[in-house]
Structure 1
Amino acid sequence: MHPSHPPNGRLTALGIQLIEIHHWLREELARLRASLDSPGDPGVGLTRELRAHCAGFCAALDRHHTGEDGGAFRVLAEQVPELRPVLAELSADHTVVASILTRVDKLLADATDGRSVRAELDGLAALLESHFTYEERKLVAALNRLAGDPVELLGVTPPKGGSPS
Protein backbone atom coordinates (compact mmCIF):
# COMPACT_ATOMS: atom_id res chain seq x y z
CA MET A 1 0.00 0.00 0.00
CA HIS A 2 1.38 3.40 -1.03
CA PRO A 3 0.73 6.48 1.07
CA SER A 4 -1.19 9.25 -0.67
CA HIS A 5 1.62 11.69 0.16
CA PRO A 6 5.34 11.09 0.42
CA PRO A 7 6.56 10.76 4.02
CA ASN A 8 8.09 14.24 3.95
CA GLY A 9 5.10 15.84 2.17
CA ARG A 10 3.76 17.40 5.36
CA LEU A 11 7.20 18.69 6.26
CA THR A 12 7.79 20.24 2.85
CA ALA A 13 4.41 21.93 2.97
CA LEU A 14 5.44 24.25 5.82
CA GLY A 15 8.03 26.06 3.67
CA ILE A 16 5.59 26.17 0.77
CA GLN A 17 2.90 27.52 3.10
CA LEU A 18 5.22 30.37 4.10
CA ILE A 19 5.62 31.32 0.44
CA GLU A 20 1.84 31.10 -0.09
CA ILE A 21 1.18 33.34 2.91
CA HIS A 22 3.70 35.88 1.64
CA HIS A 23 2.14 35.75 -1.84
CA TRP A 24 -1.31 36.43 -0.39
CA LEU A 25 -0.01 39.29 1.78
CA ARG A 26 1.72 40.85 -1.24
CA GLU A 27 -1.51 40.65 -3.27
CA GLU A 28 -3.61 42.14 -0.47
CA LEU A 29 -1.19 45.01 0.02
CA ALA A 30 -1.18 45.70 -3.73
CA ARG A 31 -5.00 45.76 -3.69
CA LEU A 32 -5.02 48.18 -0.76
CA ARG A 33 -2.54 50.49 -2.45
CA ALA A 34 -4.48 50.40 -5.71
CA SER A 35 -7.74 51.21 -3.94
CA LEU A 36 -6.15 54.36 -2.54
CA ASP A 37 -5.47 55.52 -6.10
CA SER A 38 -9.19 55.93 -6.84
CA PRO A 39 -9.82 59.05 -8.91
CA GLY A 40 -12.26 61.70 -7.80
CA ASP A 41 -12.91 62.91 -4.27
CA PRO A 42 -9.63 62.94 -2.28
CA GLY A 43 -11.37 61.19 0.61
CA VAL A 44 -12.77 58.39 -1.54
CA GLY A 45 -9.86 56.11 -0.68
CA LEU A 46 -10.78 56.03 2.99
CA THR A 47 -14.24 54.53 2.82
CA ARG A 48 -15.46 52.34 5.66
CA GLU A 49 -14.87 49.29 3.46
CA LEU A 50 -11.27 50.28 2.75
CA ARG A 51 -10.61 51.01 6.41
CA ALA A 52 -11.97 47.55 7.30
CA HIS A 53 -9.90 45.88 4.56
CA CYS A 54 -6.79 47.70 5.73
CA ALA A 55 -7.44 46.80 9.37
CA GLY A 56 -7.94 43.15 8.37
CA PHE A 57 -4.73 43.12 6.34
CA CYS A 58 -2.77 44.76 9.17
CA ALA A 59 -4.14 42.22 11.67
CA ALA A 60 -3.25 39.27 9.41
CA LEU A 61 0.28 40.59 8.86
CA ASP A 62 0.73 41.17 12.58
CA ARG A 63 -0.57 37.63 13.38
CA HIS A 64 1.86 36.20 10.83
CA HIS A 65 4.88 37.99 12.25
CA THR A 66 3.88 37.35 15.88
CA GLY A 67 3.38 33.67 15.01
CA GLU A 68 6.78 33.45 13.36
CA ASP A 69 8.56 35.12 16.28
CA GLY A 70 6.90 32.89 18.87
CA GLY A 71 6.66 29.76 16.74
CA ALA A 72 8.80 28.99 13.70
CA PHE A 73 11.69 31.30 14.63
CA ARG A 74 11.90 29.89 18.16
CA VAL A 75 11.89 26.31 16.85
CA LEU A 76 14.41 27.10 14.11
CA ALA A 77 16.72 28.82 16.62
CA GLU A 78 16.69 25.65 18.72
CA GLN A 79 17.06 23.17 15.86
CA VAL A 80 19.23 25.18 13.45
CA PRO A 81 21.37 27.48 15.62
CA GLU A 82 23.34 28.79 12.64
CA LEU A 83 20.15 30.61 11.56
CA ARG A 84 20.01 32.70 14.74
CA PRO A 85 21.58 35.82 13.16
CA VAL A 86 19.10 35.63 10.26
CA LEU A 87 16.20 35.12 12.67
CA ALA A 88 17.33 38.14 14.71
CA GLU A 89 17.37 40.30 11.54
CA LEU A 90 13.92 39.09 10.54
CA SER A 91 12.55 39.73 14.05
CA ALA A 92 14.01 43.25 13.93
CA ASP A 93 12.13 43.76 10.65
CA HIS A 94 8.97 42.58 12.39
CA THR A 95 9.40 45.37 14.94
CA VAL A 96 9.74 47.97 12.17
CA VAL A 97 6.68 46.55 10.38
CA ALA A 98 4.67 46.66 13.62
CA SER A 99 5.59 50.34 13.99
CA ILE A 100 4.38 51.06 10.46
CA LEU A 101 1.15 49.17 11.12
CA THR A 102 0.59 51.30 14.22
CA ARG A 103 1.07 54.47 12.14
CA VAL A 104 -1.31 53.15 9.46
CA ASP A 105 -3.93 52.41 12.11
CA LYS A 106 -3.61 55.94 13.52
CA LEU A 107 -3.76 57.48 10.05
CA LEU A 108 -6.88 55.50 9.20
CA ALA A 109 -8.54 56.90 12.29
CA ASP A 110 -7.36 60.50 11.75
CA ALA A 111 -6.81 61.06 8.00
CA THR A 112 -9.23 62.92 5.79
CA ASP A 113 -7.74 61.48 2.61
CA GLY A 114 -5.74 58.49 1.50
CA ARG A 115 -2.45 60.18 0.61
CA SER A 116 -0.80 59.75 4.00
CA VAL A 117 -2.04 56.18 4.28
CA ARG A 118 -0.77 55.47 0.77
CA ALA A 119 2.67 56.84 1.67
CA GLU A 120 2.92 54.49 4.67
CA LEU A 121 1.66 51.54 2.62
CA ASP A 122 4.24 52.31 -0.09
CA GLY A 123 7.01 52.19 2.50
CA LEU A 124 5.54 49.03 3.98
CA ALA A 125 5.41 47.40 0.54
CA ALA A 126 9.09 48.13 -0.10
CA LEU A 127 10.13 46.78 3.29
CA LEU A 128 7.94 43.68 3.02
CA GLU A 129 9.18 42.81 -0.46
CA SER A 130 12.77 42.81 0.77
CA HIS A 131 11.82 41.05 4.02
CA PHE A 132 9.74 38.30 2.38
CA THR A 133 12.35 37.62 -0.32
CA TYR A 134 15.15 37.37 2.24
CA GLU A 135 13.07 35.22 4.60
CA GLU A 136 12.07 32.83 1.82
CA ARG A 137 15.64 32.53 0.56
CA LYS A 138 17.05 31.89 4.03
CA LEU A 139 14.33 29.86 5.77
CA VAL A 140 12.22 27.79 3.37
CA ALA A 141 14.68 24.88 3.24
CA ALA A 142 14.91 24.79 7.05
CA LEU A 143 11.14 25.08 7.40
CA ASN A 144 10.72 22.19 5.00
CA ARG A 145 12.48 20.02 7.58
CA LEU A 146 10.12 21.04 10.40
CA ALA A 147 6.84 19.49 11.34
CA GLY A 148 4.10 21.38 13.08
CA ASP A 149 0.90 23.33 12.91
CA PRO A 150 1.21 26.26 10.47
CA VAL A 151 -0.95 28.48 12.70
CA GLU A 152 1.36 27.87 15.65
CA LEU A 153 4.54 28.20 13.59
CA LEU A 154 3.58 30.83 10.99
CA GLY A 155 0.72 32.68 12.68
CA VAL A 156 -1.80 31.92 9.92
CA THR A 157 -2.53 29.23 7.35
CA PRO A 158 -2.22 29.90 3.64
CA PRO A 159 -5.47 31.34 2.31
CA LYS A 160 -7.57 29.33 -0.09
CA GLY A 161 -9.31 32.11 -2.00
CA GLY A 162 -9.93 34.27 1.05
CA SER A 163 -8.28 35.68 4.11
CA PRO A 164 -5.96 33.49 6.15
CA SER A 165 -7.14 32.09 9.47
Structure 2
Amino acid sequence: MHPSHPPSGRLTALGTQLIEIHHWLREELAQLRASLDSPGGGATLTRELRAHCVGFCAALDQHHTGEDGGVFHLLAEQAPELRPVLAELSADHLVVADLLRRVDALLAEAADGRSVRAELDGLAALLESHFTYEERKLVAALNRLTGDPVELLGVTPPPDGDPLERTETA
Protein backbone atom coordinates (compact mmCIF):
# COMPACT_ATOMS: atom_id res chain seq x y z
CA MET A 1 0.00 0.00 0.00
CA HIS A 2 1.27 3.48 -0.84
CA PRO A 3 2.33 5.59 2.17
CA SER A 4 -0.45 8.11 1.46
CA HIS A 5 -3.01 5.38 2.03
CA PRO A 6 -2.51 4.09 5.59
CA PRO A 7 -4.42 1.03 6.82
CA SER A 8 -6.97 3.21 8.61
CA GLY A 9 -8.14 4.42 5.21
CA ARG A 10 -7.61 8.07 6.21
CA LEU A 11 -5.70 9.99 3.60
CA THR A 12 -2.49 11.81 4.35
CA ALA A 13 -2.86 15.57 4.45
CA LEU A 14 -3.18 17.15 1.01
CA GLY A 15 0.04 19.14 1.43
CA THR A 16 1.94 15.96 2.13
CA GLN A 17 0.34 14.33 -0.89
CA LEU A 18 1.36 17.29 -3.02
CA ILE A 19 4.97 16.74 -1.97
CA GLU A 20 4.64 13.02 -2.77
CA ILE A 21 3.21 13.81 -6.22
CA HIS A 22 6.02 16.25 -6.94
CA HIS A 23 8.59 13.71 -5.77
CA TRP A 24 7.09 11.08 -8.05
CA LEU A 25 7.01 13.47 -11.04
CA ARG A 26 10.63 14.48 -10.39
CA GLU A 27 11.65 10.79 -10.34
CA GLU A 28 9.74 10.03 -13.54
CA LEU A 29 11.31 12.99 -15.33
CA ALA A 30 14.79 12.00 -14.11
CA GLN A 31 14.24 8.42 -15.36
CA LEU A 32 13.01 9.72 -18.69
CA ARG A 33 16.02 12.02 -19.10
CA ALA A 34 18.39 9.22 -18.06
CA SER A 35 16.81 6.94 -20.68
CA LEU A 36 17.64 9.53 -23.32
CA ASP A 37 21.25 9.47 -22.13
CA SER A 38 21.55 5.70 -22.48
CA PRO A 39 23.39 4.22 -25.46
CA GLY A 40 21.24 4.83 -28.50
CA GLY A 41 18.78 6.93 -26.52
CA GLY A 42 20.19 10.18 -27.81
CA ALA A 43 19.83 9.24 -31.45
CA THR A 44 16.49 7.44 -31.64
CA LEU A 45 13.41 7.19 -29.52
CA THR A 46 12.15 3.67 -28.97
CA ARG A 47 8.45 2.97 -28.77
CA GLU A 48 8.81 2.35 -25.02
CA LEU A 49 10.65 5.62 -24.51
CA ARG A 50 8.00 7.51 -26.49
CA ALA A 51 5.25 5.86 -24.43
CA HIS A 52 7.03 6.77 -21.19
CA CYS A 53 7.36 10.36 -22.38
CA VAL A 54 3.71 10.60 -23.43
CA GLY A 55 2.61 9.06 -20.12
CA PHE A 56 4.75 11.44 -18.10
CA CYS A 57 3.50 14.47 -20.03
CA ALA A 58 -0.12 13.38 -19.57
CA ALA A 59 0.34 12.83 -15.82
CA LEU A 60 1.98 16.23 -15.37
CA ASP A 61 -0.75 17.94 -17.40
CA GLN A 62 -3.45 16.14 -15.42
CA HIS A 63 -1.84 17.24 -12.14
CA HIS A 64 -1.68 20.90 -13.16
CA THR A 65 -5.19 20.84 -14.62
CA GLY A 66 -6.44 19.30 -11.38
CA GLU A 67 -4.73 21.97 -9.30
CA ASP A 68 -6.11 24.81 -11.43
CA GLY A 69 -9.63 23.37 -11.46
CA GLY A 70 -9.67 22.01 -7.92
CA VAL A 71 -7.42 22.89 -5.03
CA PHE A 72 -6.47 26.38 -6.23
CA HIS A 73 -10.14 27.45 -6.23
CA LEU A 74 -10.63 26.04 -2.76
CA LEU A 75 -7.47 27.72 -1.47
CA ALA A 76 -8.47 31.04 -3.04
CA GLU A 77 -11.77 30.88 -1.13
CA GLN A 78 -10.33 29.74 2.19
CA ALA A 79 -7.01 31.62 2.12
CA PRO A 80 -7.48 34.76 0.00
CA GLU A 81 -3.97 35.95 0.92
CA LEU A 82 -2.67 33.13 -1.32
CA ARG A 83 -4.40 34.43 -4.46
CA PRO A 84 -1.25 36.16 -5.85
CA VAL A 85 0.74 32.94 -5.31
CA LEU A 86 -1.99 30.87 -6.96
CA ALA A 87 -2.01 33.25 -9.94
CA GLU A 88 1.78 32.85 -10.32
CA LEU A 89 1.50 29.07 -10.13
CA SER A 90 -1.31 29.01 -12.68
CA ALA A 91 0.81 31.17 -15.01
CA ASP A 92 3.63 28.62 -14.60
CA HIS A 93 1.15 25.89 -15.55
CA LEU A 94 0.59 27.63 -18.89
CA VAL A 95 4.34 27.74 -19.57
CA VAL A 96 4.64 24.05 -18.62
CA ALA A 97 1.70 23.19 -20.90
CA ASP A 98 3.47 24.96 -23.77
CA LEU A 99 6.64 22.94 -23.12
CA LEU A 100 4.58 19.74 -23.02
CA ARG A 101 3.02 20.64 -26.39
CA ARG A 102 6.51 21.13 -27.82
CA VAL A 103 7.61 17.74 -26.50
CA ASP A 104 4.46 16.18 -27.96
CA ALA A 105 5.15 17.81 -31.33
CA LEU A 106 8.72 16.49 -31.31
CA LEU A 107 7.43 13.01 -30.56
CA ALA A 108 4.81 13.26 -33.33
CA GLU A 109 7.40 14.31 -35.91
CA ALA A 110 9.74 11.52 -34.78
CA ALA A 111 12.47 13.93 -33.75
CA ASP A 112 15.70 12.56 -32.39
CA GLY A 113 16.24 11.98 -28.69
CA ARG A 114 18.59 14.95 -28.39
CA SER A 115 15.82 17.38 -29.35
CA VAL A 116 13.43 15.81 -26.87
CA ARG A 117 16.14 15.82 -24.20
CA ALA A 118 16.73 19.56 -24.71
CA GLU A 119 13.04 20.30 -24.12
CA LEU A 120 12.95 17.98 -21.11
CA ASP A 121 16.00 19.72 -19.64
CA GLY A 122 14.18 23.06 -19.84
CA LEU A 123 11.07 21.47 -18.38
CA ALA A 124 13.07 19.97 -15.51
CA ALA A 125 14.58 23.35 -14.60
CA LEU A 126 11.19 25.05 -14.66
CA LEU A 127 9.49 22.28 -12.70
CA GLU A 128 12.12 22.24 -9.98
CA SER A 129 11.62 25.94 -9.37
CA HIS A 130 7.83 25.62 -9.64
CA PHE A 131 7.52 22.61 -7.34
CA THR A 132 9.82 24.11 -4.70
CA TYR A 133 7.91 27.41 -4.70
CA GLU A 134 4.53 25.68 -4.62
CA GLU A 135 5.56 23.44 -1.73
CA ARG A 136 7.03 26.34 0.24
CA LYS A 137 3.94 28.52 -0.23
CA LEU A 138 1.04 26.04 -0.14
CA VAL A 139 1.78 22.93 1.94
CA ALA A 140 0.71 24.40 5.29
CA ALA A 141 -2.54 25.73 3.80
CA LEU A 142 -3.20 22.44 1.99
CA ASN A 143 -2.71 20.45 5.18
CA ARG A 144 -5.67 22.34 6.67
CA LEU A 145 -7.97 21.26 3.82
CA THR A 146 -9.89 18.04 3.36
CA GLY A 147 -11.17 16.54 0.16
CA ASP A 148 -10.58 14.02 -2.56
CA PRO A 149 -6.90 14.24 -3.57
CA VAL A 150 -7.58 13.18 -7.16
CA GLU A 151 -10.23 15.86 -7.53
CA LEU A 152 -8.15 18.53 -5.82
CA LEU A 153 -4.61 17.65 -6.95
CA GLY A 154 -5.32 15.94 -10.28
CA VAL A 155 -3.46 12.72 -9.50
CA THR A 156 -2.21 10.70 -6.59
CA PRO A 157 1.23 9.13 -6.54
CA PRO A 158 1.05 5.59 -7.93
CA PRO A 159 1.61 2.55 -5.75
CA ASP A 160 5.29 1.60 -5.62
CA GLY A 161 6.33 -0.42 -8.64
CA ASP A 162 3.69 1.01 -10.98
CA PRO A 163 5.42 3.83 -12.84
CA LEU A 164 3.08 6.29 -14.50
CA GLU A 165 -0.03 4.50 -13.27
CA ARG A 166 -2.51 7.25 -12.56
CA THR A 167 -5.59 7.26 -10.44
CA GLU A 168 -8.42 8.49 -12.63
CA THR A 169 -11.57 10.14 -11.38
CA ALA A 170 -14.66 8.06 -11.91
Q: TM-score, normalised by structure 2?
A: 0.87
1:25 aligns with 2:25: yes
Q: Residues 21-76 of structure 1: CA distance to partner in whole angstroms, max 9, x if unpaired? A: 000000000000010112247533x1000000000000000000000000000000
Contact 1:55 1:105 in 2 (8 A): yes
How far is 1:158 from its partner?
A: 2.0
Contact 2:42 2:112 in 1 (8 A): yes
One-letter identity of the residue aligned with 1:68: E
CA distance in 1, matches of 2:17, 2:155: 9
Larger Rg: 1
Contact 2:36 2:42 in 1 (8 A): no
CA RMSD of aligned residues (A): 1.6
How far is 1:154 from its partner?
A: 0.1
Cross-structure match for 1:37: 37
Cross-structure match for 1:154: 153
Segments of 5+ residues of structure 1 without an aligned counterpart are none
One-letter identity of the residue aligned with 2:13: A
Q: TM-score, normalised by structure 1?
A: 0.90
How far is 1:79 from its partner?
A: 0.5
The 1:113–1:77 alpha-carbon spacing in structure 2 relative to 1, beyond 3 Å, is same
One-letter identity of the residue aligned with 1:24: W
Contact 1:14 1:150 in 2 (8 A): yes
The 1:24–1:42 alpha-carbon spacing in structure 2 relative to 1, beyond 3 Å, is closer
Map 1:1-165; keep pairs closer than 5 Å.
10=11, 13-40=13-40, 42-44=42-44, 46-161=45-160, 162=162, 163-165=165-167
CA distance in 2, matches of 1:63, 1:155: 5
One-letter identity of the residue aligned with 2:81: E
> Is 13-22 or 105-114 further displaced after alignment?
105-114
Q: Residues 107-135 of structure 1: CA distance to partner in whole angstroms, max 9, x if unpaired? A: 01113410110000000000000000000
Give the 4+ runs in structure 1 shifted more than 6 A: none
CA distance in 1, matches of 2:41, 2:91: 38
One-letter identity of the residue aligned with 2:38: S
One-letter identity of the residue aligned with 1:23: H
Contact 1:43 1:112 in 2 (8 A): no
CA distance in 2, matches of 1:122, 1:43: 16
Task: Count how many residue pairs are aligned between Structure 1 and Structure 2.
Answer: 157
> Which structure's residues are more often helix, by fraction?
1
CA distance in 1, matches of 2:148, 2:100: 26
